[in-house]
Structures are given as C-alpha cells and as structure tokens.
Structure 1
C-alpha cells in the first residue's frame, strides 16, 4: 500500500511537471512575436544569439514565466497550510482577507513613496513584501479576534469573518488608491487585478528568498499539519505545542502570500483550488500534499497567464482575472458540496 501511494505521488509530480513544461513551451514560443522551438533553444543555449530573440525571451517571456511559477508555488503551499490549520476546505488566503490585507499595505506603500521611489527599483522591490507581511498579519489578527469562539478558531465563523475582512481592506485599498495621482492610480488598479505584466528578474530575486526559507520550514512541519486534523485537545495530548506550531505555520503562509502580492497583486483562488486538486490526486498526507499543491498552483498560474496574453490578443487579460473566471464557479461548487 505504501509503495503504491509513493508511486502514485511520483506519477502525479511528473504529470504536473509535464503540464508546466507544456505551458512554458507555449508561452515561450507564442505571442505577438512568434518564435520556433529551435529559435528558443538556440537563444537559451546562447548558440548564435540574435538580439531580438534575446530581448523577447530573457527580458519579457522568461521572467514572466518564472515569476508566475514561483507565485503559484507560494499560493498553493500557503493554501494547503491554511486549510490544514483551520480544518476548513473553503479556507484560502484570498477568501480569508490575507490577500486584501497585504494588498492594502502595498498600495499604502505606493502612496507614501509616490514620485520619490521607483517601484521597480531594487529598494522598492525588496521593501514591498515587508509592507505586505504587515498587512497580511493585520488581516490575520483581525480574523483571529472575531472568528475565535471559546478560545478556539471556529471554522464556520472563519469564512464569514474572512469575507468581511477582505471587503474592509478592499474598501481601504480603494480609498488609498484614489489619493494617488492618475498615473500611479492606473498602475495600482492593474496591479490589484493580479497582473504579472511587468515581471522582471528583480521580482524573481525578491520571491526566491521567501520560498527558499519558508517552504522547507512548512514542509518539515507537514506531520504537524496531519495532526491538526484532530481536535486541539488530542493534539496537545501528543506533546505538540499547538498554538506555537499554528503561529509558525500561519506566519510562514502569510509570508508566502505577502511576497506574492507584493510582486503580482492579488491573485485569488489559487490557494483554494490547488490544494483541492492535490488532495484528490495524492490524499490528505501533507508531506505529499504540500509539494503537489505548490506544483499545481504553478501550473495554474503559468497556464492562466498564457491564456490571458494569447486568447484575448492583442489585449491582455490579467492572470488574476483568468483564474477568477475559473475559481468563482469552483468555489460555488465547493459550497454546494459542503452543504450536502
């Protein structure tokens, strides 16, 4: 049984990687400037480099693909952690308001430094995730304040409080963005839709430390997430410091979400859908669920970005909007299924 489940895990991983590879291939070769596979390979391997090909691949398409993959991994992992902690399959960074809190803080950052700081410069790119983390923590603290019942997090109240928190932070974000000058306001609106139009290697470098540090920390606590499927009293009786472990896991997931929001805006539903798909493919054991959720999230974001920039060409649809078109019906389906 153990061998068969292990084989299934690797089949799922390889299949998901194949989907990502197909999306990467399509994204690299298709667009306003079409390229053949041979031209892409020659450009990547630096064989007879052509300046136009270098510009298209290394400055526009590749950083966008890599950033999309990293964002998908971060949101997929964060979603599986939040669902594991809350024991609620409908929990998600976007629905709980963590995205909205982080987004509000980043828009506030844009307002405070408008005209003084280049938002694509190194200082801004490295600082924005910190603002996002503060906003995500503010959202989480608000949720904990109102969703706890008798010292415990009530899964039923969690969704309602999360929706209210998301709406509240969304209203603050809109108010703050209206205080911006017209050009900054336009940039903020596009960014809030969940866009990776302006992806560059600085954003990729910004994301990497958060993933390199936080994903292993979370994965090494995967057995704790398995225990959290029991009630808190049972977990405590096994010698687990419940609140401390919850805080570490929650902070890790908020950090991943905040880093993602800082470079792409609010991309919703990835943290909801990716863990559900992963759970159906590899089961509920978090040692396997977490990596598969991350890979599924990466496949979702890279594929959605390809759809957004090609299907609606010459216009481009933000990746957040494309995923929401799929995510809203899926969320309604989950609500109906949970009631039945």
Structure 2
C-alpha cells in the first residue's frame, strides 16, 4: 500500500466521523491503522476481548475498545513520511504558574507529613492551532519521535488524542510479562556527559522496587536488568527492565490493576497519591496518564526452525500478545485548540520553581509538532 492511499483512507474515515487509531511502536518502520466499521462505542471491563484499548487514568471511568473483529486493518512500512511543509518551531504561553507552584507546595507538605512518599502532579496547557488536521500532526510525530510509540486515536463519542510516549506500561507474550521502570528527567545535550544525582537514582529505585512488589502476587521468576540512560526527544530518563511469568491463576486484568497507574504517573503509595491527585489537581486527566495499545492479539510462532524437520513446522504455537503504553507526551484536539498535558514527580526534596520549569520543558517537547 502506498503512503498516499494509506492516509487517504484514514482521512476518509475521519471525515466520516468513524473511529480509528493509527500508530507505530518504538524504533519501528511499521505504521498500523484500525478503522472501525461504525461509530458504536465499545468498552471493556475485564480486558478479555481482542482489540485496541484506550484506557483512562482512573479505571472507574470507561476503557474504550476498538474490537479487532469490527475493524479493517491496514499496514504501511515506511521509515519517514513525506510532509509538504516548512517546519518552524512554535512557542506556547505557559499560564497558570501560580496555581501549579501552589499545587506542588501542597504536595511537598503532604509528603513531609508522611502521608505520601511521592506524588506526580500535572497541569494542562491550551494552545490555538491553525492546522487542526490530526493526520498531519501524526506524521510530524512519527518523523520526530523515533524511539516512542506515536499514535492518533479518534472516536466521535469520546474525542481525538495524539501522542508520542516513550513509556511501555507492560507487554505480555503468552505468559511472559515485561515491564519497564522509568524515572528521572534531564534535558539532552550533545556536548555534556550526563550525570544523575542520588535524588534521581532514588526516584528510579522507588519505581523499580514498587513494580516488583506489585507483580509478585501475580507472577514468578522475576528478573531485573541494570539501570540505563535512554533518550526520548530532547529529554533523558533512567530505565530498568523487569521480566517475569504470569501465574496460571492470574488474569490480565489483575496485572493491569497491579501496575496501573504507575508511580511514574501517579505516585507512591498508589491509592493515597491517586486520591490526592483526584482531589487537588483542579482538572480531570481523562486519558492522560491512562494507557493504550494492542489487547490479546494472536501471533503464531513455528515450533521448529530445523530445516530437516519440515513436517513439524506445520505445528505453530498460537500465543496472544498485548502491548500497553502509558499515555504520556500527549494532547487532545478540541475546538481548534490543542490541550497539552504535562506533569512531574514530586518528592520531599522537590523545589516548586524547578518543578514548574520541568513542565515548561515538557510542553516544548510536544509543542514542536504544532507549528
């Protein structure tokens, strides 16, 4: 399929106000799109269906499903998308500094009282945009963020979301569970060698320990990798892989409930920090810091790659896989405005002014695709 026909089909779907998702996983030259045949709103409670799921920060709200059987599927293999435009960076007015500093100060006070050890506090920034065509913005995201999962998701009854998220919530292949602990943020610089402080390593360790503890009841054979530095756009993060096997008696839903929302987007302990966010953030996150991705899709692997064993190759193992990404670095398009969501992790040593600056840096990361 050519790039032109792929995007023309998507454009028609959008003009007809029918649900779709177009996405590409990190370091991948494959773009997939799912086109739902009608505008029915499907949801999932137990995550036992097969499809593409778009889940909110608070699982008490609806998790939207594009069911696999109700969608047409297209694939485009390409490493860069053509865009007829001069790409100029844009600026954004960061309003709301006073409110955000107050919110962070309240978070720090709550942590110092011993009620929380970390809380992630966010805000939204609105920007008027001239070109509201989401597919052009998706193309820019795809060309700009090679090591992120980039997506554009639309449902006429829910809204239109786009993002470039570096963070895997987890993936499952058969019974094999892989999750990532990601924390710490620094601006990337070609000139300077990166050096992380104890605060950042500590933040990272809190996340790793927490994930391990959360999955213990549901999995076995837990293995933890070394900490590494990864780059996402113009930011750097610390990252660790945690691999394990899901127990026979555990369900995908139990793993989701154990891991979502993560300390990287919510805080620690989970329930207390989540309640603090719902009570104090002064806006509804909706699908920001929720998760999205492929749910229970079938893959088949041949059992034997030995050429002489040709007859055994007929017996393929059919496994189900799921890949969920945390909905970070995202925006919602609404009435010719882009609503951009940004946040940061607050600990007892946080400085409110610095936390404000961090959210300003993060708006720059996403706003560059809105020229």
Shared fold (TM-score, shorter chain, > 0.5): no
For normalisation by structure 1, the TM-score amounts to 0.24
Q: Which has the higher relative contact order, 1 or 2, with Cα contacts under 8 A spaced 6 or more apart?
A: 1
**Higher-strand-fraction structure:** 2
Give TM-score scaled by structure 2 length: 0.22
- Report the structure, 1 or 2, having the larger helix content: 1
